[in-house]
Chain A
Amino acid sequence: MSAFDPRRVRVDTPLLGRVINGRPITYLDSASSTLPPRAVIEAMDRYYTLHHANVHRGVYQTAVEATDVYEGARAAAARFIHAPGGADEIVFTKNTTESFNLLAKSWGAANLQAGDVVLVTEMEHHANIVPWFQLRDARGIDVRFVPVTDDFRLDLSNLDQLLDGVKLFSFTATSNVLGTRNPVAALARAAHEHGALVAVDAAQSVGHQPTDVVDMDADFLCFSAHKMLGPTGLGVLWTRAAILASMPPFLGGGGMIADVRLDGYVPADGPTRFEAGTPPIAETAGLEAAIRYLDGLGLENLMAHEQTLTSDALARLDARFNGRVRVIGPANSVDRGGVLSLDVDGVHPHDVAQVLDQFGVCVRPGHHCAKPLMRRFGLAATARASFGPYSTVADTDVLLDALDSAVSMFG
C-alpha cells in the first residue's frame, strides 16, 4: 500500500475514541458529515486562542491576522479545486444548500425568464431541486429531470432532447443515496454544446476524490466543509470570475457593499459581494487545515481506499445475506463512491439503525433529502452506511454482525 494508512487517520480523529453502548464507535455516516481530525479542531482552537477579531475592518494586529486566516482559506479552497481564477472565484457560504440558493437566487433570478429551462437529475439532493422549484413558482421557469435507470445510473439515452433549450444543467458529481459517480466532464460537454451552463453538486465528492473544475468543465461548483473533514457552518460556491462579476448580490447588509448613501447602495466587487455580515472565520481556519490534511493523505489514495472498502462490503453483504439485504445503488464499485444504501427485507430502516446503534454503529435511516429518487425506487427510506478516510474493513465486520442481529430480531 502507498503512504496512506487509514489506521493513522483513526489515531488522528479523536471522536473515534468514543465508546457507544459499551462498544467502540463504528462511524459509517460520513456521507452525512465527516469526522474532523485533530489538526482541524486545533486550527479552530488556535484561531480563537490567538487571532480572533472581526475580518476586513480593523488595522490592529489580530484583526489583520484574522483577515489573513479568512483570505488564506479562500486561496487554499481555490487551489484545492484548481479554480483557474484563484481566490477571487471562491464565495464562502453556510453550506452546499446555501450555495445552491445563492446560485438560484442571484444568477438564476438575473438570467432566467419564464419558459427558460433548468435541467437537474432524479438523483439530486433536495438542495439542488427546491431552489429551482422556488424559481419556477416565482418566475415560471421550467425544471426538467434526467431519469435514473434501474441500474442506478443516469439515463442519458435522451440527453440531447432533454438539453434542448436548457440554460443550466445542474447535477451531482456523486449521489448521496446511491453512491453513483456521474460522468461530470462528459455531461458538462454535452450541456455546453447546447449553450447551457453547468453547475456541479460536489458535496459528496470533494472529500473523496481529486477535484479539478477545469477538467470537470464546470461553471459552478457547490460543496460543504463538513463533508471533507472540516467544520459545519461553512460552504463554498465557486464560479468563473467573469460569471461572478455579472451576478447581483444575494443577502444585503454589512461587508457586501462598496458604498451606502441615503438614496441607495453600491455592492462590493468579487466574492465579498455575496458575504454579508460577519462570516464564519474559525471555520475557514478549519477548512484550510482540512484541505492540508486531505492533501497530505492524497485524494487519489482516498479514492482507491474507499473503492476497496466498497468492493469488499458489496461482496460480503451479498454473500452473507443472500438477497435479504439489498443495496440501492450500483452493484459493483466501478464509478461508485463509498455510499451503501441498505434495504433490509422486512425491517424498516429506522429499526435497522436502532439495532445498529446498540452495536455502536452509526448509519443514517431516512430519505436522505432525495425524495424523488426514493419514490423512483418505491422506497420511503433506506439505512445508509458510508465510508470516510478513517474507515476500515473492521467497520464493515461490525456492520455485518449488527445487520445480522437486526435481521434475526425482526425475522
Chain B
Amino acid sequence: MANLDDLYREIILDHYRSPRNRGELDAPGVVRTEGYNPLCGDELTVFLDVRDGIIVDIKLTGHGCSISQASSSMMSAAVKGKTVDEARETIERFKQLMTVHQTALDDRAEPVVADLRTMGELAALQGVVKFPVRIKCATLAWNTLSQGLDDAYGVQGTGSQ
C-alpha cells in the first residue's frame, strides 16, 4: 500500500508552505511561459531571465496543489544560476524520475529511477510515482520550464541573448 508519507515528505511540505522564487520578472528579455493542468485547474507562470546561456533569475506565479507548488518551487531552486544545458539535463532526469515503470506500480517494489544521488532535494518527489494520478501535478512546472526554454532559445540550441 502506498503510504501518504511517501507523497508528503517534510521537504515537500516545506516548499509548499514557503515556496521559493515566488513573484514576477519584468526585465527586458524576460520570457514568460504559462502552464496549465486542465483537469485539476492548476496554473503556473514561469518567468525566465537568461543571459549568455545562464538562467540568472527565475520567478513563478500561479496556484495548485501541494505537489505542483512544491515541485515548482524545487524546480526553480534547482535551475537558478545553472546554464540552459544544465537545466535541460535536470528536466530530463526529473522526467525519468517521474516515469512509471511497471515495477513502480507494484506495491512491493521501489520505483526504478535515475541516480538519486545527483538529484538533491528533487529526490524527495520520487514518492509521487506511487500515486500515478498525481504525477501530472509534479511535472507541470518542468514541462512549463521546458516549454519556456524551447520558446526562447530553440529546441536544440542553448542560445544567448
Contacts and interface: CB of A to CB of B under 8 A. Distances in A.
Contacts of B7: 354
B40 A381 contact: yes
Interface string A351-366: 1001100100000011
Given A348-B66, A380-B63, A410-B66, A354 B4 contact: yes
A317 to B, nearest CB: 21
B13 interface: yes
B114 interface: no
Best-buried of A347, A367, A380 by chain B (most CB within 10 Å): A380
A56 to B, nearest CB: 39
A345 B134 CA distance: 21
A372 to B, nearest CB: 13
B8 interface: yes
A342 to B, nearest CB: 15
B40 A354 contact: no
Given A21-B1, A354-B7, 11 more contacts: A348-B66, A350-B65, A351-B8, A351-B65, A354-B134, A371-B41, A380-B41, A380-B63, A381-B40, A381-B41, A410-B17
B131 interface: yes
30 contacts: A22-B1, A347-B66, A348-B64, A348-B65, A348-B66, A348-B69, A349-B65, A350-B40, A350-B65, A350-B137, A351-B8, A351-B65, A351-B66, A354-B4, A354-B7, A354-B131, A355-B4, A365-B40, A366-B40, A366-B41, A367-B41, A371-B41, A374-B41, A380-B40, A380-B41, A380-B43, A380-B63, A381-B41, A409-B8, A410-B17
Interface residues of A, number: 19
Q: Nearest 7 CB-CB pairs, A to B? A: A380-B41, A348-B65, A350-B65, A351-B66, A381-B41, A358-B4, A351-B65
Interface in B30-45: 39-43
Interface of B: 1, 4, 7-8, 13, 16-17, 39-43, 63-67, 69, 131, 134, 137
A371 B40 CA distance: 11
A410 B17 CA distance: 8
Contacts of A381: 40-41
Contact of A380 (B42, B67, B134): B42
A209 B48 CA distance: 55
A21 B4 CA distance: 11
Contacts of A358: 4
Interface in A359-411: 365-367, 371, 374, 380-381, 409-410
Nearest to B1: A21
Nearest to A20: B1
Interface string A6-34: 00000000000000011000000000000
A354 B66 CA distance: 11
A355 B65 CA distance: 12
A60 to B, nearest CB: 47
A125 to B, nearest CB: 16
Contacts of A366: 39-41
A365 B43 CA distance: 16
Nearest to B39: A366
Contacts of B134: 350, 354
Nearest to B3: A358
Contacts of A365: 40
Contacts of B67: 350-351
Contacts of B64: 348, 380
Nearest to A350: B65
Best-buried of B1, B41, B42 by chain A (most CB within 10 Å): B41
